[in-house]
Structures are given as C-alpha cells and as structure tokens.
Amino acid sequence: MLSVYHLKPKFQQLLLPLLNQLHKQHITANQLTVVAMLWSALMGALLLMSPNHHIYLVIVAIGLLIRMALNALDGMMARMYHQQSKLGEVLNEFGDVISDTMIFCGLFSLSFVNKPLLFLFITFSIINEFAGVLAKVVSGIRRYDGPMGKSDRALLIGVWCILYFIFPALSVAFNAIFTVAVSLLMLSTYKRLSNSLK
C-alpha cells in the first residue's frame, strides 16, 4: 500500500552530501538520534503555542521535514560508517516513539481537537511502532509496512499545519482526518504483525 516510506531510498540519496559532511565533522549516528529527539521536543512546544502564534504552524511543518532528514541520517550514518550498536538500536526505536509522542501531544492545545481521538492516534502510533519491533523478534526483520507509518504521520501533521495556517476553516475537518488516520494505523499494525508471521 502507498506509503512515504517507499520514497526513502531517493530521500537518502539527496542526503548523501550532508551525511559525508557530518561524518567529516565527527558527528555520530547516536548524536543525530539525540538531536532528533530534542528537535521533536521543540516542534511539540511550538505546536502547544501555535493557537497564539499561527506562524509556528509553518515552522513546525518545516521542522518535521528536518526531523525526517535527521531520522534518515542517523540510520545511514550507522550503516555506512559502521557505527551500529545495541545502544544505537535502543536509542533509535525508543527515540522515534518519544519524538512522535512529544510532537503529537502539542496538538492537544488546539481547541477544536477531539481529545479522546487524539489520544487514540497517539496510542496506536506507539502500538504501530511496537508491532514493527516485535516483528523483528518474531521473524528477524523489522517491519515498516504502511499506511500511516512514521514518515506518513510526519507528513500528515506537516501538511495539515500548512493547510490550516492558510485555511483556518479547515479546523472542522481535523477530527474526520484523524479518524481515518487511526483506522489506517490499525490496518498498518495488522499488516506488520501478519507479515512477520508469514
């Protein structure tokens, strides 16, 4: 099924020059993972303040693209420069969940958001990542099946921030969009688990 994850190889190719420069500066994969978590905390904080400063929505959208780059760079750094480690794997998996949660919790500040629905979105996002990790325990392969994987969720939030900044009336569609997103998360989780058992 269509997912932003399928575009990852091309995205990584675009990041290769930056990766090489970071390596020359002795930046490690684990450092990039930690920076991504701190960056995500900043994005979540900006979302919390966005009802009073709508321009923060645009900053968050751009920031999410940077976060996606950081997430790609840490894995590339680890593989290409032989920095893979148990600590790195723990930081990567734990960091993704923490980063997502910090960003998504920022949406609670928006008055039109259905809070139980957003809580479900966050919960199933965590379960979805857990299913991917569990698949590695069962089959030896980490699953990234979409739809609504990590990159898809970042794209959803980023695009919505831009559209809401331009067209505030779109706030009425937020809960409908995230209802669909929760349904897609459930489908994605099922796919990850079922594929790991094949």
By residue range, what is the domain housing residue 56? 4-196
Domain of 59, CATH number, reads 1.20.120.1760
Sequential pLDDT tens for the chain (198 residues): 556 666 777 888 888 999 999 999 999 999 999 999 999 999 999 999 999 999 999 999 999 999 999 999 999 999 999 999 999 999 999 999 999 999 999 999 999 999 999 999 999 999 999 999 999 999 999 998 889 998 899 999 999 999 999 999 999 999 999 999 999 999 999 999 999 998
Nearest to 5 by CA among 194, 198, 163, 188: 188
Q: Which amino acid is at 17?
A: P
Distance in angstroms (rounded) separating the CA atoms of residues 148 and 75: 20
Task: Give the total number of structural domains in the chain.
Answer: 1
The Cα-based distances of 59 to 53, 56, 72, 134, 153 in angstroms read 11, 5, 20, 34, 17
DSSP-H helix ranges across 81-167: 86-105, 115-139, 150-166
Task: Give me the pLDDT at residue 1, please.
Answer: 55
Cβ 74 vs Cβ 92: under 8 Å: yes
